[in-house]
Amino acid sequence: MSNEKIQAGLEKYNASVEKTVAKFPERGNLPEQRLYTPLDVKGVDSYAEEIGFPGMYPYTRGVQPTMYRGRFWTMRMYAGFSTAAESNKRYRYLIESGATGLSCAFDLPTQIGYDSDDPISEGEVGKVGVAIDSLADMEILFDQIDLGKVSTSMTINAPASVLLSMYIAVAEKQGVPADQLKGTIQNDILKEYAARGTYIFPPRPSMRLITNIFEYCSKNVPKWNTISISGYHIREAGSTASQEIAFTIADGIAYVEAAIKAGLNVDDFAGRLSFFWNAHNNVLEEVAKFRASRRVWAKVMKERFHAEKPKSMMLRVHTQTAGSMLTAQQPNNNIVRVALQTAAAVMGGTQSLHTNSKDEALALPTTESVTIALRTQQIVAYESGLADVIDPLAGSYYVEALTDKIEKEAWEYIQKIDELGGAVAAIEKGYIQKEIQDSAYKWQMDVESGARTIVGVNKFQQEEPAPEGLLKIDASVGIAQCERLAAMKAKRDNAAVEKALADLKAACEDENENLMPHILNAVRTYATLGEICGVMRKVFGEYEAHVNL
C-alpha cells in the first residue's frame, strides 16, 4: 500500500472517529497518538538497518541468533534473609524447584559495609537480606552448593570487591578454580548516588574499586560479569522508561571511560559488562524499552569507543519485575502483575529474570509465594508460546514507533549528561536525581488524582482481613549473629588479620595499586567486612549526599 493510500485511509478513519469520541470520551494516560501505521515507522531501508536480525548489530531484535529456541533465559530467583544458614536452605529449595541461577540479597548493614555487631546495625541485621560479616558466613551461605555448577548474582555495590573476594575464597575451599566461576556482581555505584543510597565512599575512589575489579577479573575470573549496570533502582525511584535506559547507559559510558583511562583495552572487558532492567506494568512500552536499549548501547560501543568484538557491543540484561508496582492491598493481584511483567521481559529478550513474589509489599516472601513466582516464569517459558518465536512483536507499527521514540528520548538525555561532563559530574550536580524526582512526583500525583488507575489502591478497593503467615525476622537473629561473629574473631589468627589490613591500607594509599589481591588476602584471614571497609573508609572518606532544594 502506498503512502498516499495510507494517508487517505487515515483521513477517513479520523473523520469516523469523531462521532465515537463524542459519545465515549477517551480515558486519560493514553499514548498521544491513537493509531499507528507504516507512516510512523522509518523508511524501508533505514528501518531494515535499524531493526536488523537477532544476534547481529545493532541487536534490536536480541543478542543471540536463536534466543530462547536454543535455551530459555536463566531463571534467577532473588533471595536472602535472616542468617546464612536460613538463606542456604532457601537457595537449595529453589535449585530443587527448578531455578537455574541464584541471586543473593544482603541485609542493609552488609550493603553499606558494617558488621552485625556495629551499633549502626542494630535492628537491621537479617531484615532485608542475609547478614554476611566474614568468610565464615559465606561458607555457610553456599554449603552443599557447587559453585562450579551454579551461576550466582550478588546485589552488592559499595563493598562489591569484598563480597566477590569472599565468593572466590569459598570456591577455593570447594576446589573450584576462580576461572570456572560464573555469575555477576552488581558493582554499580553511580546509581547508588542517583537513586538507591547504599554508597560508602565518594565517587572517585569508588570508580577506582570498580576498575580494579574489571582488571582483576579479566585476568583471573574471566567468566564473571564484573558489573550489572542497573536501571532497575532508577526505575524503582520513579523514572520513566526512557530515563531508565538513558541514565543507566550514561553510567555505563562512565565505567567504560574509567576503565580505558586506567589502561584497559575496551574489547578486553566490555564483553563482561551486563545490564539490569526493570520490567514495569506497561507491557508494550517495556518491550520497546528493551529493544531500544540494545540499539543505543551497540551504537555507543561501536561509534564512541570503537569496540571491534561483537560481544563488546551486545547489551546483555538481567531483569527483575517491578517491586514498586506490588501493592499491599489485594496482594493476590500481584500475581497477575508479575505475570504480565514476565511476558514483557521475555518478549523484550532478557537473558535472565527474577520474578517478585506476591507478598513482597508486606514482608520478605514466604516459601509458597516464591514458588508461585518461579512457576510464573516456567509457565511463560513452557506454556505461553512467547518463547517460541524471536522478537515476536517486531514489525508492530506501535512497538517499532515506540522503540524509535524511546531511543530518541534516551539520546537526548545522554547528550545533556555529556554536556554536563558525564554521569559522575551530572550526579555531583544533582541533575539525574532531580529528573528522577520530578518523574516520581508526576506519577504519584496522577495516582492520587485518579488520572492513573492502580487496581485495588485508588479504584476497585475492598475491605480485607490482615494477611496471615508472613515471614518475620525478629531481634534474636541479630543477637545470634553477633555471638557467632564474636566466636569467629576469638578463633582466627588476629595477627594475620592485622597484617592483611595494614597491607590493604598501604595499597589504598597507592593510587596505582590494584586492591583486589589485597582484599582477597584479608578475606582469607577472616578479616570482617566491617574491618576491610573500615580501612578503606579511613583512606577514601565517605560520600555525603547531594541535596536538591
Read off the CATH number of the domain in which 412 is found: 3.20.20.240
* Whether 129 contacts 78, CB under 8 Å: no
* Whether 3 contacts 39, CB under 8 Å: yes
Domain containing residue 390: 47-449
Q: 75 in a domain, yes or no? A: yes
What SS3 state is found at 106? strand
* CB under 8 A, 24+ apart: contacts of 141-145: 141/84, 141/87, 141/88, 141/91, 141/104, 142/88, 142/91, 142/167, 142/170, 142/174, 143/88, 144/88, 144/92, 145/88, 145/91, 145/92, 145/95, 145/102
Q: What is the pLDDT of residue 45?
A: 65
pLDDT means over runs of 10, the chain (549 residues):
80 81 77 79 69 92 93 88 93 91 93 97 94 98 95 95 98 97 95 94 95 95 94 97 98 96 94 95 98 98 98 96 97 97 98 95 91 97 95 94 96 98 94 96 96 96 86 88 98 98 98 97 98 98 75
Q: What is the pLDDT of residue 14?
A: 83
Q: 424 in a domain, yes or no? A: yes
Q: 65 in a domain, yes or no? A: yes
DSSP 98: T
Residue with cell 573450584: 176
Q: What is the pTM of this model?
A: 0.89
Q: 289 in a domain, yes or no? A: yes
User: Could you tell me which residues come within 8 angstroms of residue 168 by beta carbon, excluding any fewer than 6 positions away?
Assistant: 178, 181, 221, 520
List the grid coordinates of 302: 561501536
User: Could you tell me which residues come within 8 angstroms of residue 455 by beta carbon, excluding any fewer than 6 positions away?
Assistant: 330, 333
The residue among 396, 390, 424 whose CA lies nearest residue 207 is: 424
Q: 412 in a domain, yes or no? A: yes
List the grid coordinates of 28: 486519560
Q: 398 in a domain, yes or no? A: yes
Q: What is the pLDDT of residue 334?
A: 98
Total domains in the chain come to 1
Q: 193 in a domain, yes or no? A: yes
DSSP secondary structure, 192-218, as one string: IIIII----S-HHHHHHHHHHHHHHHH
What SS3 state is found at 415? helix
Q: 502 in a domain, yes or no? A: no
